Structure 1
Amino acid sequence: MKIDRILEIIIYLLNHDNVTASYLARRFEVSVRTIQRDMICISNIGIPVYALSGKNGGYSIMKNYKIKNMNIFNNEQQLIINALESLATSYSSDALNSLIEKYNTIIEKEGGQKIFWDFSITKENYKVQNLNTILEEAIDNRNYVSFDYKNAQGERSKQYIEPLAIHYKWYAWYLFSYSKNQNKYKTFKIARINNLSIEKEISITKHEDVKILMKTSEQEYYDTCISVEVEFSNDEYELIEEYFPDCPIEKISVNLYRVIIRVPAKERLWKALLLSFGNRVKVISPESYKIELIETAQKFLSNYDI
């Protein structure tokens, strides 16, 4: 998991100087771009990481940065993990606010500088925060919940499930759950949940490790993704690399490149992202995805007198 890797990187940097991104990539079996993004995450939570270029360069943590020994209770340790994992998005908790203040007091910087945390730009609305609170209660007590749901295709349904975990990914909160009626594990985007209610029924179902179940479910989801071939010019190279950092880019000619991206077939976000490039990128295949993009663009233009 990303949170485990970030915590290990922090510990490793606290004990080593000038660690290269390539070494960390090999150590944690990820790409160099992933390590670079991890370093941004570590900096965003207030740990002063800096990079030195050159033959003997690498990543380091400022030498005057220290964390003193202070007693941190188990529930606070869990909040630390939540804060790092979600980068303090919509998780609203007085205990978390207290913990952030505590960390401000135990982290010393030269000149008495304080560390300020401001994640408001990534916070979800109060609806999601309130739903998270209700779902946490249901998970703790093993209650079933019911709610109305509208998926990405606009299809509405009534759900009666056992909530197992809430987790943050793709810049949003999701609910991982078990449907007794369908005998399957399901994931729901919390922002699409309405009329959430905790039911009296208590679950007696025994589940395997939830982390393993979530990983398996996520892999099944990724297996449904499709490969989209996109061509673009040299002018868009850096932007394509930024948006699709783990996708290898192939040079076709002097000023033409190609990238293969894996995207969920029915997720509109990726279609919107590709359309945002305008005529600067061209979808080559699959043909069905290309046709969907054309139809989406035509429907958008039909709202205007062009």
Structure 2
Amino acid sequence: MAINKQALIRHRIIDNCLSNPQKRYSFEDLLYCINRELQEINGTNGSISTRTLRGDLKYLRSREGGEAPIESYKKDGKSYYRYSDPNFKLYNQGLNAAEVQQLKTAIETLSKIDGIPQMGWVQELGTKLEETFFLEKSDRLIMSHDSNRYLRGIEHLGQLFHAILNKTPLHVRYQSYKRAKETIFEISPYHLREYNNRWFLFGRNRDYANLTNLALDRILSIEDGNHPYIENEEWDFNAYFEDIVGVSFESDKVEKIRLWFTLSAAPYVTSKPPHGSLRKISNDDTGLIIEIDVIPNFELETLILSYGERTKVLSPESFRNKIKRRVEAMMKNYFDTVS
């Protein structure tokens, strides 16, 4: 006898309950769990009847339903249900209905973030989950992500992801903005990072001891390398970027950068700090003054300049002068006569 999708979901819920040795389930408990889980999965307030549950238990005991060893036992004068074999599991996927729903939500989130490059395994996993757990699909776009869909090099992301995962050495042809000729990197890939809608690969070049940073949009081609993979025993990427804004290091010296912002910019700065080390020095009618502990780099300069006339660097003097020179160069562009 063929059974429908809702019945299969109920059977999995019953199976999860009866195979749980840490909790007792009466008939009423089973009915409550099924109705609660169905409501979470289907998003409706409908409930099944006691007759439906009795039919489900009868079906699961049958040969067609899997001959589940469901038994009724008494405890403290009340009847409960369980599997007589504590190791029995009808559906051996190891997830209960709530966990299935959470996993479904996570997969849907991955598949609905427009602008983040999708890798084939995400869609394949989503399809497999839908087939295994009878999940409903939705075509609504729930989330989106700011992205340049025309960015070069994004096609390499999946290959690099798997190379890092499988510790595969790579032969990379690279065209830097600063050089006329391409460069060959024999690299052991360690980490991928996105900043400002651009992706960067971090790894160990065979010929250098320092960490190499390659922008994906400058990569011309990638092939598996013939050199041995160099294990990463030096860099912890959970902490590697803590002292910078962005992805580049121009020195190893952390400096205290003090910045002033106008009253109109202050709420944006406090709600989206330029760096995690932000300390508020003052916030009054004259504006907001903050201090951050960072290694100055090009990305920090660009971030500060993005605030335009709503900010200025107070200290240190060297960094203040650097930003000042860039502002003066910008002004010169506007005052120069264009023929």
2: CA distance, partners of 1:83 / 1:205: 31
Answer 1 or 2: which has greater strand percent. Answer: 1
Q: Secondary structure at the match of 1:176?
A: strand
Give 1:168-247 correspondences, 5 Å limit. Answer: 168-169=194-195, 171-191=197-217, 193-208=218-233, 213-215=236-238, 217-219=240-242, 224-244=253-273, 246=276, 247=278
Q: CA RMSD in A?
A: 4.3
* 1:270 alignment partner, one of 300, 307, 324: 300
Q: Does residue 297 of structure 1 match 2:327?
A: yes
Q: Secondary structure at the match of 1:234?
A: coil
Give 1:111-130 correspondences, 5 Å limit. Answer: 116-119=141-144, 121-122=146-147, 124-125=149-150, 127-130=152-155
1: CA distance, partners of 2:334 / 2:194: 37
The change in CA–CA distance for 1:240 and 1:221 in structure 2 (over 3 A counts) is closer
Letter in 2 for 1:215: N
Identity of paired residues, percent? 13
Letter in 1 for 2:198: A
- Assess if the C-alpha contact under 8 Å between 2:188 and 2:230 holds in 1: no
Letter in 2 for 1:258: I
2: CA distance, partners of 1:230 / 1:293: 12
Measured against aligned partners, the alpha-carbon deviations of 1:147-205 in whole angstroms (never above 9, x if no partner) come to: 32537xx46773331223324456532212112221233333323x3323315414243
Q: Which runs of 5+ in 2 are unaligned?
A: 1-38, 42-96, 246-251
1: CA distance, partners of 2:154 / 2:230: 27
Q: Secondary structure at the match of 1:218?
A: coil
- Assess if the C-alpha contact under 8 Å between 1:90 and 1:129 holds in 2: no
Q: Does residue 260 of structure 1 match 2:260?
A: no
The change in CA–CA distance for 1:136 and 1:280 in structure 2 (over 3 A counts) is closer
Answer 1 or 2: which has greater helix percent. Answer: 1
The change in CA–CA distance for 1:124 and 1:71 in structure 2 (over 3 A counts) is same
1: CA distance, partners of 2:244 / 2:209: 17
Q: CA deviation at 1:71?
A: 10
Higher relative contact order (CA closer than 8 Å, sequence separation 6+): 1
1:90 corresponds to which residue?
A: 116
1: CA distance, partners of 2:221 / 2:109: 23
Q: Secondary structure at the match of 2:188?
A: strand
TM-score normalized by structure 2? Answer: 0.52
Aligned residues: 228
- Assess if the C-alpha contact under 8 Å between 2:167 and 2:189 holds in 1: no
2: CA distance, partners of 1:184 / 1:249: 35
Letter in 1 for 2:186: Y
The change in CA–CA distance for 1:204 and 1:294 in structure 2 (over 3 A counts) is closer
| Bigger Rg over Cα | 2
Q: Does residue 248 of structure 1 match 2:279?
A: yes
Q: CA deviation at 1:272?
A: 2.9
